[in-house]
Structure formats: C-alpha cells, structure tokens
Amino acid sequence: MRTPTLDVLRRYAIARTLPPPATLSRAIRRLGFVQADPIRAPARAQDLTLRHRVRDYVAGDLERRYPRMALEEDCLVNYGFLPRAQAALLHPRQPRRAWDAATRRRAEAVLAFVRARGAVHPREVDRHFAHGRVRNYWGGSSNATTHLLEAMHYAGLLRVRRRDAGTRVYAVAQREPSDDSPSGRERRAEALVELIVRKYAPLPASSLVYLVRLLDYGAPQLATQTRAALAMARERLPSARVDGVTWLWPDGEDPAARRHRLDHTLRLLAPFDPIAWDRRRFELLWGWRYRFEAYTPAAKRQFGYYALPMLWRGHMVGWANIGMRDGQLAPAFGYAAGVPKDAGFRNALDEELDRMQRFLMGAAAIRDAAGRG
C-alpha cells in the first residue's frame, strides 16, 4: 500500500462516511453512533446528520421511528443513538456519582413505579413522588425527578422508550447480561475502540487518544481496558505518516482505493457530523479552523450561532447559518477563502437549499397531518 497524500485522505474521509443513501436502520448501523443535540437551527444535529445518509429523510424521522427500531439512546463519547448491540457493550455501568442510601431508596421506588406503569413521562413520576428540585451541573435548578430519571437511565436501570414532544418517556431496561469477566471486559473495550475507529477514520493518532479518553463518559467502568485496547489499536491498525502527522484507519481498508470517488453534491453538514466532528482533523484536512459557537457570546462569534460546514467537491469551502422566515429558508453564508468562482457552485448551493427546504417542510407536513388526525 502506497503512503497516501493529504488529498487522498480527504477523499477517503468523505467517501467512507457518505456512501449512497440507504434505509434508516442501515445508515445507523453503518455509522455505529449518531450524536444527538437538542438545538434546532434549523433542525436537530441527528436529523441533519441522517438526511445525507437516508433516502427521503425528513426532520424528525428518527424520533418518530425510534420506538419500532432496535436502537437505544445512550452515552458513548457523548449522548446519542446506537444500535442495541453496540449499546449493550456499555453496560453494566454504575452511576457517575455514587448514590447515598436515600437516593438508592428513591431509585428503587421509581423503578417499581415505572415497572408497574410500563412507560412513564417525567411529569407522571413527579406528580406521584413530588421529589422537588436539586442543583444541576451548571449551578441552576433542575427538577429532581428529571435528574434522578437521567441518572437511572445512565446506570442502565431505565431506557428511553420514545419521546413525547422531545421529552424522554422511560421504561425499565431489559438487557441480556453482558460478559463482565476480565476477558469479556477486554472484548467489549476492543469492540468500543473499533467502533470509534470505524466511525471517525481516518484519524490522526492524537484524535484517537482523545476519543478513547471520552469513552470514560460512556464506559467509565472499562477505562483500564479501553486504554489497553487503544495501545493495541495503535500497534496493529494500518497507518501512515503524512506531513508529520500519523493517521490510522480500519483493517482491510485502503485510502487510495479507486472506489473513493467524489460526487459534486454540495452538502451543508451538522456541526457534529462525522466528517466535521473532530476539529483537529478538520483543520488538518481542509486548512482552516472551524468552531461550534452556539455557546459563545454573540459578540465573539466568527461563524455564527449554528454554522453548518459547507462541503463541495472534496473541500470545506465555507459555512452557512440557516434560519426560517415565513416558512422559507433565510440563509447566511461565510467562506474560508472567498466565494468559489466555479460556475457550478451557485447551482449546487441552490440545489442543496432546495433539499434542505424539503427536509424541513416534510416534517412540517407530517406534524400538520398528525394535528388534523
């Protein structure tokens, strides 16, 4: 295998994560994990990610179809959606903070209540138990019921059965016991590291180290095993040093394969799309630094509240912030090195905005139909 160039790595990074659109189930299996985010600007991150990979996808399809799919909402390197088989690798998992005796008693009572009801909205639990309020991680006040339900979900006692208007509706988790022997924990850790490599490849070696550290969020009980799996991965995975950076990719893949061809579709990507998620890789591949600024004070923003990276012909040429006004898109654009001068760019951008409009309005039509029903 010849040492790839940076251009080859760019093409490989795009082609391997943007195959031809498939069904929703197949697309999520390919991705292995879809990061979730509650901000809608103009849609949630999970919907913006899936619209490029699922045939005829409209905003909200994942939430609508989730109850009928073999998926789980859970924490990997961050919060999102995983195939059930991958989510099982993360459990058994302990609460992030040890529970005192009073919290354990409350959790046991809530678990019995949920088991008796089958599925519960947090409001039902709150009305029944009236748990009050607690301080949250940001120093504000949170509903204590919501806080406890989230902790029980993280600990694997509950699962998200569905969402009602975006709010999690919980049920008791029913999982096959995982192999928690020393060898079983090693296998699970190796599978989690492999999942990360397949999702984010090609990866700078430093990015893989960072991602495995983030696994402490989803699998803190496997921290020792994931560090060992990381060391093994760095030794055995195919790699190349390009412009002073060591890059890694999965076994059996060739970055220079002829099948890694680019189409000329312009795409506006979610800030957490696999192509854009790793900001270090983004800068190495495309030569400029992209930032997610939703939590940056407005006066200090360079890109805007929810800038969507703009991918065209193998390059990140800029970004867009998409608002809605009177049912129509109200986009604002920025460019890394000026507006592309190619005559096809304007048409490609118009086509992408038309796809975005249909993706958003398709969701509105579904909501309207449900309201009439």
Using left for φ > 0, alpha for ψ between -120 and 50, and beta otherwise, residue 304 falls in left
126 within a domain of the structure (yes/no):
yes
Q: Let me know the angle formed at the C-alpha of 295 by 293 and 300, rounded to the nearest 5 degrees.
A: 60
115, 147, 172: which is the final residue of a domain?
172
Q: Is 105 exposed, middle or buried (0-12, 13-18, 19+ CB in 10 A)?
A: exposed
- The pLDDT, as a whole number, for residue 241 is 96
317 within a domain of the structure (yes/no):
yes
- The pLDDT, as a whole number, for residue 144 is 84
Residue with tokens 């789980």: 72
277 within a domain of the structure (yes/no):
yes
111, 142, 172: which is the final residue of a domain?
172
- For residues 141 and 146, what is the distance between their CA atoms, to the nearest angstrom? 11
Residues 360/324, Cβ–Cβ less than 8 Å: yes
Amino acid, res. 244: G
Tokens of 197: 């490599």
Buried b vs exposed e over 229-265: b needs ≥16 C-beta within 10 Å?
A: bbeebbeebbbbebeebebbbbeebebeeeebeeeee
The domain in which residue 136 lies consists of: 101-172
60 within a domain of the structure (yes/no):
no
206 within a domain of the structure (yes/no):
no
- For residues 22 and 24, what is the distance between their CA atoms, to the nearest angstrom? 7
- For residues 96 and 157, what is the distance between their CA atoms, to the nearest angstrom? 13
Neighbours of 363 (CB within 10 A): 19
- The pLDDT, as a whole number, for residue 137 is 54
- For residues 21 and 53, what is the distance between their CA atoms, to the nearest angstrom? 4
- The tens place of each residue's pLDDT in the chain, 373 residues long, gives 688 999 999 999 999 999 999 999 999 999 999 999 999 999 999 999 999 999 999 999 999 999 999 999 999 999 999 999 999 999 999 888 899 999 999 999 999 999 999 999 999 998 888 777 777 654 566 688 888 999 999 999 999 999 998 899 999 999 888 889 999 999 999 999 999 999 999 999 999 999 999 999 999 999 999 999 999 999 999 999 999 999 999 999 999 886 667 778 999 999 999 999 999 999 999 999 999 999 999 999 999 999 999 999 999 999 999 999 988 999 999 999 999 998 899 999 999 999 999 999 886 665 555 555 5
Q: What is the dihedral of CA 102, 107, 112, 117, to 10 degrees?
A: 130
Total structural domains in the chain? 2
> Is the full-model pTM beyond 0.75?
yes
In the chain, the N- to C-terminal Cα span, in Å, equals: 59
172, 194, 219: which is the final residue of a domain?
172
Neighbours of 279 (CB within 10 A): 14
Q: Return the CATH number at 161.
A: 1.10.10
279 within a domain of the structure (yes/no):
yes
84 within a domain of the structure (yes/no):
no
365 within a domain of the structure (yes/no):
yes
- For residues 219 and 76, what is the distance between their CA atoms, to the nearest angstrom? 7
Neighbours of 143 (CB within 10 A): 17
User: How many CA atoms does the CB half-sphere of 69 hold within 13 Å?
Assistant: 21
Phi, psi of 202 (to 5 degrees): -75, 145
